[in-house]
């Protein structure tokens, strides 16, 4: 996993108890392949030592505008010029106020002001007590900082070091890492609405039993994440899976195929792209028993009758919006053999412009996959790779098909 390979990130720390999380964030950024240059304010050094940050970033830390190590004695210029981004985490209420006014009386604020504004983006991860966060001054500052071109990454909610509970915690390092990675992805789907189904469905037999399948939901969740990274507004309709929701994605949890159809159809009315990755059960027990089915001692198993489930993809693909091209539908096919022929046949049967084939048993639950894209022009292989990497490539393919003349 090298999602930040080649990126040079200046990690700024201002004073706040969330500085302890900056150590883990620094480590996570480095692990993803970034080079990290730490710049700290004097207040930040009260909370975590430059020694810790130096060891984790493997580079000397800068904490003074009077640092004589730089030959030209201008660390504020030198540090910001080569950066792909400056991330201030934690960004205190005081530091936000300083940035807002363009003050520059310490190295970090000086460097932020001196950065080439159109080349070096500034991302802020605020961290403060809930009252400080809710204060009109802070909220006003946040709006103005965004208008001045800063990217505010938002805050978390919950227990705070001061003992109070509410908004204002710094986002957790894995969340900040996900946001940083997303920040650098090309915004191929900005302004688009994407709807994804993912995971298996669960079809009840009685209150304690049911039928499901081995889909883990990982491919669909990776696609939802990749679409979000590409700037889309994403809704993810998920069957029963135990996966965290990708950052910024709206998730609707469902159980059965009929629940999934019910959740999907209204969303499809305003979506631009529908990607059906869910492994929807083809059949369900004709009548789920209201009570647990008991053994009757006869040695005979109960006889179950099945009814066919609605085909969500085919239903959506038949809608007027899909037929007019306003909604671009993408199907998946999990096959066990004859992938090309089965995927081509499925594309026609479902009536979708793009169908993505994969070998089901080889990918269920795994973190990697290999895909075969089938459209009216032919087939294209995407060799085995991490699901997130394939998802990004698929998003790019879909974006190309939406804008063929770009």
Among 99, 132, 278, 394, binds ligand C5P (CB under 6 A): 278
Catalytic residue among 26, 91, 112, 162: 162
Instruction: Tell whether residue 313 is a contact of ligand C5P (CB under 6 A).
Output: yes
Nearer to ligand C5P, 39 or 222 (CB): 222
Among 197, 256, 358, 397, binds ligand C5P (CB under 6 A): 197
Segment contacting ligand C5P by CB under 6 A, of 52-60, 270-278, 364-372, 388-396: 270-278
Give the C-alpha distances (Å, rounded to integers) separating 208 from 204, 289, 292, 373.
8, 10, 7, 39
Among 24, 172, 265, 311, binds ligand C5P (CB under 6 A): 311
CA atoms in the 13 A half-sphere facing the CB of 390: 24
Instruction: Tell whether residue 274 is a contact of ligand C5P (CB under 6 A).
Output: no
Instruction: Tell whether residue 369 is a contact of ligand C5P (CB under 6 A).
Output: no
Would you state the structure tokens that stand for residue 222, as one six-digit string?
A: 């990776």
Q: Smallest distance from the beta carbon of 388 to ligand C5P, in angstroms? A: 19
Nearer to ligand C5P, 79 or 219 (CB): 219
Instruction: Tell whether residue 364 is a contact of ligand C5P (CB under 6 A).
Output: no
Nearer to ligand C5P, 54 or 255 (CB): 255
Nearer to ligand C5P, 254 or 276 (CB): 276
Instruction: Tell whether residue 16 is a contact of ligand C5P (CB under 6 A).
Output: no
Q: Smallest distance from the beta carbon of 263 to ligand C5P, in angstroms? A: 12
Give me the residue label for tokens 């130096």.
54
For residue 206, give the H/E element and its range.
strand 203-206
Among 312, 322, 371, 395, binds ligand C5P (CB under 6 A): 312
Would you state the structure tokens that stand for residue 323, as one six-digit string?
A: 């037929």
Instruction: Tell whether residue 363 is a contact of ligand C5P (CB under 6 A).
Output: no
Give the C-alpha distances (Å, rounded to integers) separating 324 from 91, 320, 327, 375.
48, 6, 8, 17
Alpha-helical (H) ranges within 250-404 are 257-268, 312-317, 320-324, 339-350, 360-363, 387-402
- Binding residue count for ligand C5P, defined by CB under 6 A: 14
Instruction: Tell whether residue 219 is a contact of ligand C5P (CB under 6 A).
Output: no
Interface of this chain with ligand C5P, residues 22 to 61, rule: CB under 6 A: none
Nearest by Cα to 356 from 366, 370, 336, 337 = 370
Q: Smallest distance from the beta carbon of 307 to ligand C5P, in angstroms? A: 12
For residue 386, give the H/E element and its range.
strand 378-386
Residue 374's SS3 state is strand
* Catalytic site includes residue 162: yes
Nearer to ligand C5P, 127 or 238 (CB): 238
354-359 and 368-375 strand pairing: antiparallel
Q: Smallest distance from the beta carbon of 280 to ligand C5P, in angstroms? A: 3
Instruction: Tell whether residue 257 is a contact of ligand C5P (CB under 6 A).
Output: yes
Among 333, 343, 390, 398, binds ligand C5P (CB under 6 A): 333
Please answer whether residues 182 and 235 qualify as being in contact, where contact means their C-beta atoms are separated by less than 8 angstroms.
no
Residues for the chain: how many in total?
A: 406
Nearest by Cα to 257 from 218, 306, 311 = 311
Residue 250's SS3 state is strand
DSSP code, position 282 = S
Among 133, 183, 202, 332, binds ligand C5P (CB under 6 A): 332
Nearer to ligand C5P, 36 or 395 (CB): 395
Q: Smallest distance from the beta carbon of 30 to ligand C5P, in angstroms? A: 38
Give me the residue label for tokens 């507004």.
233
Nearer to ligand C5P, 146 or 214 (CB): 214
Instruction: Tell whether residue 227 is a contact of ligand C5P (CB under 6 A).
Output: no
| Interatomic CA distance for residues 172 and 177, integer angstroms | 9
- Displacement of CA 8 from its chain's centroid (Å): 21
Nearer to ligand C5P, 91 or 333 (CB): 333
Please answer whether residues 110 and 65 qualify as being in contact, where contact means their C-beta atoms are separated by less than 8 angstroms.
yes
Instruction: Tell whether residue 331 is a contact of ligand C5P (CB under 6 A).
Output: yes
Instruction: Tell whether residue 309 is a contact of ligand C5P (CB under 6 A).
Output: yes
Residue 227's SS3 state is helix
For residue 169, give the H/E element and its range.
strand 165-169
Residues forming the active site: 162
List residues binding ligand C5P (CB under 6 A). 197, 257, 276-278, 280, 309, 311-313, 331-333, 346
């Amino acid at each position: 996993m090298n999602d930040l390979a080649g990126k040079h990130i200046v990690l700024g720390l201002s004073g706040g108890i969330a500085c302890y999380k900056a150590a883990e964030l620094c480590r996570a950024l480095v692990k993803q392949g970034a080079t990290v240059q730490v710049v700290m304010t004097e207040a930040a050094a009260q909370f975590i030592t430059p020694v810790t940050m130096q060891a984790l970033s493997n580079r000397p830390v800068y904490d003074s505008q009077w640092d004589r190590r730089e030959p030209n004695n201008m660390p504020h210029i030198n540090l910001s010029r080569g950066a792909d981004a400056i991330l201030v985490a934690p960004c205190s209420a005081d530091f936000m106020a300083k940035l807002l006014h363009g003050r520059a009386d310490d190295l970090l604020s000086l460097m932020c002001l001196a950065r080439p504004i159109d080349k070096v983006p500034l991302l802020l991860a605020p961290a403060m007590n809930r009252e400080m966060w809710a204060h009109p001054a802070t909220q006003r500052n946040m709006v103005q900082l965004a208008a001045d071109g800063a990217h505010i990454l938002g805050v978390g909610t919950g227990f705070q070091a001061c003992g109070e509970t509410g908004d204002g915690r710094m986002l957790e390092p894995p969340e900040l890492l996900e946001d940083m990675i997303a920040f650098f992805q090309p915004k191929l789907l900005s302004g688009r609405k994407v709807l994804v189904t993912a995971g298996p469905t669960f079809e009840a037999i009685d209150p304690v039993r049911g039928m499901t399948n081995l889909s883990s939901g990982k491919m669909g969740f990776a696609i939802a994440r990749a679409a979000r990274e590409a700037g889309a507004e994403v809704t993810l309709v998920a069957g029963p899976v135990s996966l965290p929701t990708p950052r910024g994605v709206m998730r609707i949890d469902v159980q059965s195929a009929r629940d999934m159809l019910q959740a999907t159809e209204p969303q499809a009315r305003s979506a631009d792209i529908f990607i059906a990755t869910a492994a929807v059960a083809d059949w369900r027990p004709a009548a789920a028993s209201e009570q647990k089915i008991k053994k009757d001692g006869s040695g005979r198993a109960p006889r179950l009758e099945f009814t066919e489930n609605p085909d969500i993809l085919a239903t959506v693909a038949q809608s007027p919006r899909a037929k007019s091209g306003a909604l671009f539908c993408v199907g998946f096919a999990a096959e066990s053999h004859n992938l090309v022929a089965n995927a081509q046949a499925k594309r026609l049967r479902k009536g979708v412009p793009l169908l993505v084939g994969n070998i089901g048993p080889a990918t269920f639950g795994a973190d990697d996959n290999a895909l075969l894209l089938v459209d009216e022009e032919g087939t294209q292989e995407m060799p085995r790779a991490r699901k997130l990497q394939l998802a990004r490539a698929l998003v790019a393919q879909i974006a190309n098909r939406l804008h063929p003349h770009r």
